[in-house]
Amino acid sequence: MAVLLLPSEKIERKASMGKNDKMKETEYEEEVGFDETDINEQEAAQEKVTDALSELEEEFQREKDRYLRLFAEFENFKKRTARERVDMFKTAGADVIGSLLPVLDDFERALKEIEKSEDDSLLKGVELIHNKLRETLKSKGLHLMDVKPGDAFDADSHEAITQIPAPEDKLKGKIIDVVEKGYTLGDKIIRYPKVVIGQ
C-alpha cells in the first residue's frame, strides 16, 4: 500500500536517505507516487490556469472598453438632445417673432400717417404701444439691422428687390433705398432687408 505524503514530507524523506539505505530511489518514487508525469500534469494544469487567466483579463479589457464607449455614446446623446431642445425653442421663438414683424411694420406706417394728422393724443398712444412692442421683441433678442442708403450692397445680408439707374456715379452698386427693414434674432438673420440698388 502506497502512503501519500505531502510534497514537503517527500523532500524531507528523500533528503534523509543515505548511501546505506537499501531502498532505491525508484522504489521510493513508487512508494510515494512521485514521478515525472505528475510534474508534467502540474505544469499543464498551471499553464491552463495561466491561459484562462489571460483570457479573462482580455475579456475584462474588452468589456471595459465596451462600457467606456457606451458611456461616451450616452453622454454625447444627452448633449445632442439638450442642444436640439434649445435649438427647437429658438426656432419656435424665431417663428413667433418673425410673424410679429409685419405688425411692427404696420405700426411704423401708422405712426407716419398719424404724424401727418395733428392729433397729438392719438400719436402718443400709438407711439406708446409701438415702443412697448419693439422693446418686448428686443428683450427676446430681436435687433434691427443697420442698413441705410449709400451702404454697399452685400448679397449675403441684403435682398435686392430691384435695380434702378444710380442718380450719382458713387451710388453704383450701392443701396439707393430700403423698402423693408431687416432683423436679426441673436446671430441669425430672420428677415433680410429689402433694398433697391443702383446700377
Percent of the chain with pLDDT over 90: 55
Is pTM beyond 0.85? Reply is no
Q: What is the rounded average pLDDT of the residues 122-142?
A: 92
Query: Where do the domains of the chain lie, and which CATH numbers do they carry?
Result: 143-199 (2.30.22.10)
Q: What is the mean pLDDT of residues 13-18?
A: 56
According to the model, what pLDDT value does residue 137 have? 93
Q: Does residue 1 surpass a pLDDT of 50?
A: no
pLDDT at residue 104 is higher than 60: yes
* CA distances in angstroms from 68 to 59, 63, 72, listed in the order given: 14, 9, 6
| Of 100, 98, 118, the residue nearest 108 (C-alpha) | 100
